[in-house]
Structure 1
């Protein structure tokens, strides 16, 4: 017997493809993925890992791989943990997700760090993505009860500074995706998908002067979700994780004793195979076979698009953001995120606020987009950060 979703998960063609087999993996343009973008010919499991859970980065157009670190750094660049000047801290973040489509999808994020000494820092975090409640029926429209699909990722991170200017970091991640466990598909009984992945990151920063003012220039890079493929049934299709390369820079200028400006610019590219073009007999007529190993998929992702180099360029997303701090107590933020209309079409402006008082920070971000065309319209992110102890000297 075959089963299918009848309610809101129908909007996510990717989730259906992952659960019900390879035939549906040729996702149609115009459907919405759980990371909020429109689907394209790059297919991965667990796209929720591409969501930026941090309200601060979310307010800066999802940029931030090279901005100054905080307790949420592991979500975008774990190496930044090494330069936090407090001995330990933790944070809680929450976002109602895709609220323009459905009311009860949400992403929660918990993170914390602890400095072992003046060079080494460890951290841990948990991402929990709930897709709400879904009514299940069989092919005869008989009620099969309510399902509560969810996905999570648990990370352990380590960062080390090499002097005052350079640091390296890494995270080990366990991923679990429970979209339709216990149901049946053409390839057998559906089970929760499991995978293990790692992130590798680095940060370089240097003090300088700009426009006659003290400044810090920084560059960061993070390759995230390098890991095993994920399957949702025995003998079923194996899907790549959303391995992502993020490269960016930031400049922070100290205007005076009270005002500080930061400008950030990031570039993103998925390091997974681009789906080729098939003929009516399922033969590849343009592009490369996507059924290859993880290393081959990563290195081949720079030259496997059916449309050649121009299509590869369209797969690069751009994020840019601006942050202004007054007296290191009140922050204003804004940003813009761009993806090609043919490669996700996730284009939007962001705004946000930050407040720092004593040991805690409060961050808030709001996403501005056309509610008629973007499922991310009116997205909110909230974050509460706590940092404890006296400042540490970084050496």
Structure 2
């Protein structure tokens, strides 16, 4: 039988991995000195990083590429503008479509190689609005992240209480056709993060963190013919989580939430009446300040002061890395993905995600599968890190999709 205190320590360690830098933003100055930063590792940390976890199994099977994929009920996380096209079935001219309403439920056991009870749940849905001269879609989602049960102790090890840290975000999205090939999207988000349950942290009473944020996104797609086959090119861009900073104690500095920029492209090819294949590329960057290098006395040696306004932090994120242009390039993450559909019913997916070793070192392959039958769909994804004993190894993602409009469709298309 495992020792209870050891389990608590493991949970605390996992929380530190997932939520590093949340509660004590000032500690970065002590860590990023000239003496300790000789290896060049300079990871960007933010509050509420759970907002950056890809919640659905479809994109999860494609290397977390999703900003330019074909629309599905989980488009709100990747690019809300895609919702404007969700009623149409790509490369299926003349067959019609009736995907007017749908929703999905996703579940991810998170960091199970470390602890047994950290989980992410995600529910999303959409409704195509009828009437009017342009297609409009509204959508919403709820994301809930639980870190399991954690035991709090004082400095001598006496138990002071137990608590289940948790975070959630509620979204509302609106997407609208701007032209035959263009669409735009806007999302509003309420964020709640309760990591301490009001317990005293470093002598200071703590409280839940709250914020409000917005996303803005665009999507373009064009059907054409190439090599005697019907194809569709798509491009997407999204700036997400633009919102107020968060703090957890009265005396702590407020921390940036993960303001993020994502752009990408995809190519969907109809091989014949039964086979389709899609290839995707995403590029992703956090739009928050990079930690500078500090001298031992706390003054900045290289880089810029990260204590900025939201707008200034977004702009500075493109030039503030203490290592210059070469370090800025390392702050871009890349996702490569592919998806194959047979008869619009069976899907196989694969992908790769790359993050530089000095910026978090997440490098992993993904595989996934999907099944679709009338109104019901099931997706599954599995993550394979390139390193052994990685915290993300054996990560599974599950998604159930319900497309109620598919009841009257003769032939439902790819998601």
TM-score (norm 1): 0.92
Match of 1:10 among 13, 32, 51: 13
Per the alignment, do residues 77 and 20 of structure 1 end up closer, same or farther by CA in structure 2, a change over 3 Å counting?
A: same
Moved more, 195-204 or 210-219: 210-219
More deviation, 65-74/162-171: 162-171
Other-structure match for 1:41 = 43
Q: Give, in angstroms, the shift of residue 187 of structure 1.
A: 6.7
Alignment pair present for 1:23 and 2:36: no
Contact persistence 1:13–1:27 (CA under 8 A): no
Q: What secondary structure, in the 3-state scheme, does the structure 2 residue paired with 1:298 have?
A: helix
**SS of match in other structure, 1:342:** helix
Q: Is the 8 A contact 2:245 2:255 kept in 1?
A: yes
CA distance in 2, matches of 1:261, 1:107: 29
Question: Residues 343 and 366 (structure 1 numbering): CA distance in 2 closer, same or farther, change over 3 Å?
Answer: same
Is 1:70 aligned to 2:72, yes or no?
yes
Is the 2:79–2:185 Cα contact (8 Å) retained in structure 1?
yes
- SS of the aligned residue for 1:230 comes to coil
For residues 335 and 175 of structure 1, do their structure 2 counterparts lie closer, same or farther at Cα, with a shift above 3 Å needed? same
Alignment match of 1:341 (pick from 357, 365, 382): 357
Once residues 121 and 165 of structure 1 are traced to their aligned partners in structure 2, the CA distance between those partners, rounded to angstroms, is: 16
TM-score of the superposed pair, with normalisation by structure 2 = 0.88
Q: 2: CA distance between counterparts of 1:21 and 1:304?
A: 18
Tell me which of 96, 103, 113 is aligned to 2:126. 113
Matched with 1:377 is 393
Choose from 42, 46, 52 the match for 1:50.
52
Larger CA deviation: 365-374 vs 202-211? 365-374
Listed one character per residue, the Cα deviations across residues 256-301 of structure 1 (whole Å, up to 9, x for unaligned) are 0000000000000000000000001000000000001000000110
1:301 alignment partner in structure 2: 317
How many residues get paired?
A: 379
The Cα shift of 1:211 comes to 2.4
The Cα shift of 1:15 comes to 3.4
Q: Aligned-pair distance for 1:27?
A: 6.0
Contact 1:154 1:173 in 2 (8 A): yes
* CA drift at 1:374: 1.5
1:286 lines up with 2:313 in the alignment: no
Query: Comparing 230-239 with 168-177, which one deviates more in the overlay?
Result: 230-239
1:101 pairs, out of 109, 114, 118, with 114
Cα distance between partner residues in 2 of 1:200 and 1:26: 36
Bigger Cα displacement from structure 2, 109-118 vs 75-84: 109-118
The RMSD of aligned alpha carbons is 1.9
CA contact under 8 A between 2:196 and 2:208: conserved in structure 1? yes
Q: In the alignment, is the contact (CA less than 8 A) between 1:17 and 1:25 conserved in 2?
A: no
Q: Residue 36 of structure 1 corresponds to which residue in structure 2?
A: none
Whether 1:353 and 2:369 are equivalent positions in the alignment is yes
What is the rounded CA distance, in whole Å, between the counterparts of 2:52 and 2:299 in structure 1?
31
Q: Which runs of 4+ in 1 moved over 6 A?
A: none
Q: Which residue of 2 aligns with 1:183?
A: 199
Q: Is the 8 A contact 2:184 2:219 kept in 1?
A: yes
In the alignment, does 2:257 pair up with 1:228?
no
Deviation string for 1:116-160 (max 9, x for gaps)?
125110001000011011111111111123210011110000000
C-alpha deviations, 1:75-111, integer Å up to 9, x for none? Answer: 1100011111111111100010011111111100000
CA distance in 2, matches of 1:347, 1:26: 28
Aligned partner of residue 374 in structure 1, secondary structure: coil
| Unaligned 5+ runs, structure 1 | 29-38
Q: Secondary structure at the match of 1:282?
A: coil
Which residue of 1 is the match for residue 211 of structure 2?
A: 195
CA distance in structure 2 between the partners assigned to 1:270 and 1:168 by the alignment: 21
Where 2:198 maps in the other structure, the secondary structure is coil
Aligned-residue offset at 1:163: 3.2
Tell me, in whole angstroms, the C-alpha distance in 2 between the residues paired with 1:377 and 1:26: 31
Equivalent residues of 2:19, 2:49 under 8 A apart: no
For structure 2, which runs of at least 5 residues remain unmatched after alignment?
Answer: 1-7, 33-40, 88-98, 411-415
Task: Please state how far the C-alpha of 1:233 moved relative to its aligned partner.
Answer: 1.2
Aligned to 2:105: 92
